[in-house]
Amino acid sequence: MKKKWIIALVFSTILLPQAIIAQTVKRGVAEAAIGSDLNSALPGDVVYMYPEFQNGTILFADRSTSEGMVNLYLIGSQVHFIASTGDTLLMRDQDNARVLSIGRDTYIRHDRSWVRLLAVKGGLAIGIRSSVNIEQPKKTGAYGMEDVTSSITSVSALYDVPGASAQTVYLKSLQNIPYSVTHDALLYDGNKLHITNKRNFNKLFPGKKDLINSYIKENNLNLVKARDALQLFNFLNL
C-alpha cells in the first residue's frame, strides 16, 4: 500500500546548502590519536547532520509519535537524542518509524536510511540520502574499532530510561582514517525510492519522455547531482 499520507505531510520545496546539493561524494582522512573516540576524530559535519541537537518529532507506522531533542547520526543513518540526564542515546527500532521532522526539514525512513525530502508535488517527491562510510581495509581489527553504532545505548523512544547511558568507540592506536560522505538524490513514488536517472524520470512522468530528454540536453543536467535532479523535477511539475 502506498504511503501517500507520508507525502501529504510536506507541501513546499526545500533547498539544501549548495555544498550538499552540488557534491555527490566528499572524501577525507581524519587523524586519530590513541585513546580518542571515533566521533571526536571525524569532522563535525561527518558525524551529525546538524551542528546542534534540535526539537524533533518521529511518526511511527502505527501513527504514534515521539518527540525530543534530536540529531541525525550520519554513520549508520540513525536518530540520536538527548536524554534528561544529558546523555546521548540512540532510538531503537527505527525501521518502525516512517517520518522524522527536525526543525523545518522532513525525512522518510526507507531501507534503514533517513531520506530528506527536497520537494513534493502531488503523489511524487524528490529527496536526498546522506551517508558516511568509514573506509576500513579488509584486515580484521583495523583501527582497533568495533562497529560504530554497536556500543551506543538504545531505547525504544525519545524519552529517558533509568540507568541507560551512552558509550563511545575508542581507538586503540594512532591511525589515519579515510572516510567518504555520499549524497544520493532519489525519487519517491509514495512506496519506493528510485535513483534519479533518465529512465526513472520517464517511468514516473509517463508521456513526458521527449520533454525530459530535451530539457536535460538544453540545460546540460547531471542527474546524479541533487541540484540538477531537483531542477528537472520542479520543471516537470510546473
> What is the per-residue pLDDT across 108-164, written as a single tens digit (0 to 9) for each?
998 888 999 999 988 899 999 988 877 654 444 444 444 444 333 334 444 333 333
Asked if residue 7 has pLDDT above 80, the reply is: no
Give the model's confidence band at 88: pLDDT under 50 very low, under 70 low, under 90 confident, else very high: confident
Question: How far is 129 from 77, CA to CA, in rounded Å?
Answer: 9
Give the model's confidence band at 219: pLDDT under 50 very low, under 70 low, under 90 confident, else very high: very high
pLDDT given for residue 212 in this prediction: 97
Specify the higher pLDDT residue, 156 or 50.
Answer: 50
Asked if residue 34 has pLDDT above 70, the reply is: no
pLDDT given for residue 135 in this prediction: 65
Mean pLDDT score of the chain: 76
Secondary structure in 3-state letters for the chain: CCCHHHHCCCCCCCCCCHHHHCCCEEEEEEEECCCCEHHHHCCHHHHECCCCCEEEEEEECCCCEEEEEEEEECCCCEEEEECCCCCEEEECCHHHEEEEEECCEEEEEECCEEEEEEEEECCEEEEEEEEEEECCCCCCCHHHCCCCCCCCCEECCCCCCCCCCCCCCECCCCEEEEEEEEEEEEEECCCCEEECCHHHHHHHCCCCHHHHHHHHHHHCCCCCCHHHHHHHHHHHCC
pLDDT given for residue 13 in this prediction: 40
Q: Is the pTM of this model over 0.85?
A: no
125 and 188 Cβ atoms separated by less than 8 Å: yes
Asked if residue 183 has pLDDT above 80, the reply is: yes
